[in-house]
């Protein structure tokens, strides 16, 4: 697959505070990439560097084998949709969308044709003369998308574009963005702190924490095979066991129990490992019919499943397991047996602070 954008050892600091610490990333053509991370991790700064709004302290932004170091933001074939959409409040929908073409002195007839084309693309046919201040949040977002796409960028950057929408509209817009990207076949790079949004939209996810990339992978790789306990905790819910032992290939232990696993090459009696079990992978059965028994201490209905928290029946230690289940006959103080399938116990090396 052709690489369209390369970020090479990007660093950025503000007043001595290093925000990005050597970011390397290849973005492929027609790809939907999400840069995911907590507030303050550097993801929006990285987006601004790609667009040219900010300058990196070192490193290169390379687009189609051209170094963009001397290319200002307005000359880059990269457009951005900001969190607040940044529409011109004094201009109607037509004039907002056509603004870029007018700057380029495109002929009026072509402008009219292109605006109508992109209004159709974003499902806003007939909105030409509407005041942007009268539009809903979702409509404003689609005007911003049309304004960005009419300039035919190679890459569209999206800075948390759904964060201002209510939950129902946010889900509709996520589906719309996913379909739109597949339809127009250009690179989308989204910045968000919303894990569900990243998992739903992305071809690949770039997880950033404290200015460094923790992991790059498909949504399934990120969720099923986290590289660190931080990734496992940030993306979805996890039961993380930090005091277990990798006894030998295909065998681990914790809390005086031994369990088979699918992992090899971690050595023998290795303690520098963490184990992850996702809550939805823990299967509830009758007492004494699982790997061990747990006593339920919390039970709450989430909508499509129940969140259960449970501790060892015999007080082996203070470990509390989170379990997601559709079983509806559970209650506090009930004792249950639990188990998981072999492939659902994930082993990884402990993170090392650099």
Please state whether 93 falls in left (phi above 0), alpha (psi between -120 and 50) or beta: alpha
For 26, the token pair is 């290849």
Mean pLDDT of 51-80: 94
pLDDT of residue 215: 96
All structural domains of the chain, each given as residue ranges with its CATH number in brackets, are 3-234 (3.40.50.300), 239-349 (2.40.50.140)
Averaged pLDDT of the chain = 92
Residue 351, pLDDT above cutoff 60: yes
Q: Which of 64, 134, 126, 138 is nearest to 94 (CA)?
A: 126
Residue 354, pLDDT above cutoff 60: no
Which of 67-71, 117-121, 314-318 is predicted least confidently? Answer: 314-318
- pLDDT bin (cut points 50, 70, 90) of residue 13 is very high
Rg (CA), the chain: 25
Q: What is the pLDDT of residues 279-330, one digit of tens each?
A: 999 999 999 999 999 999 999 998 899 999 999 998 788 899 999 999 989 9
Enter the pTM of the model.
Answer: 0.90
Residues 6+ apart with CB under 8 A from 108: none
User: 237 near 322, Cβ under 8 Å?
Assistant: yes
Half-sphere exposure of 234 (CA within 13 A, CB side): 25
pLDDT of residue 353: 60
- pLDDT bin (cut points 50, 70, 90) of residue 163 is confident
Residue 352, pLDDT above cutoff 80: no
Q: Is 120 helix (H, G, I), strand (E, B) or coil?
A: helix
Q: Is 107 exposed, middle or buried (0-12, 13-18, 19+ CB in 10 A)?
A: exposed
């Amino acid at each position: 697959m052709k690489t369209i954008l390369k970020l090479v050892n990007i660093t950025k600091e503000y007043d001595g505070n290093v925000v990005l610490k050597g970011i390397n990333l290849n973005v492929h053509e027609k790809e939907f990439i999400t840069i995911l991370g907590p507030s303050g991790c550097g993801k929006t700064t990285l987006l601004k560097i790609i667009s040219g709004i900010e300058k990196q302290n070192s490193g290169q932004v390379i687009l189609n084998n051209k170094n963009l170091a001397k290319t200002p933001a307005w000359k880059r074939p990269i457009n951005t949709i900001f969190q607040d959409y940044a529409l011109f409040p004094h201009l109607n929908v037509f004039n907002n969308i056509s603004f870029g073409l007018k700057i380029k002195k495109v002929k009026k007839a072509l402008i009219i044709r292109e605006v109508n084309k992109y209004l159709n693309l974003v499902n806003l046919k007939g909105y030409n003369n509407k005041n942007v201040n009268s539009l809903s949040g979702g409509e404003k977002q689609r005007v911003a998308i049309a304004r960005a796409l009419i300039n035919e960028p190679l890459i569209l950057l999206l800075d948390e574009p759904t964060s201002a929408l209510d939950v129902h509209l946010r889900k509709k817009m996520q589906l719309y963005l996913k379909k739109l990207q597949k339809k127009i076949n250009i690179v989308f790079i989204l910045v968000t702190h919303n894990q569900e949004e990243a998992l739903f939209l992305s071809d690949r996810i770039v997880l950033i924490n404290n200015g460094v990339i923790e992991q790059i992978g498909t949504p399934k790789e990120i969720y099923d095979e986290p590289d660190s306990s931080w990734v496992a905790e940030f993306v979805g819910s996890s039961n993380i066991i930090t005091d277990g032992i990798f006894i030998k290939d295909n065998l681990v232990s914790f809390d005086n129990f031994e369990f088979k696993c699918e992992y090899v090459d971690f050595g023998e009696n290795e303690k520098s490992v963490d184990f992850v079990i996702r809550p939805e992978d823990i299967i509830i059965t009758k007492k004494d019919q699982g790997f061990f028994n747990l006593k339920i201490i919390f039970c709450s209905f989430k909508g499509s499943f129940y969140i259960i928290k449970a501790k060892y029946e015999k007080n082996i230690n203070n470990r509390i397991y989170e379990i997601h289940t559709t079983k509806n006959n559970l209650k506090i103080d009930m004792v249950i047996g639990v188990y998981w399938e072999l492939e659902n116990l994930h082993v990884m090396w402990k993170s090392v602070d650099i």
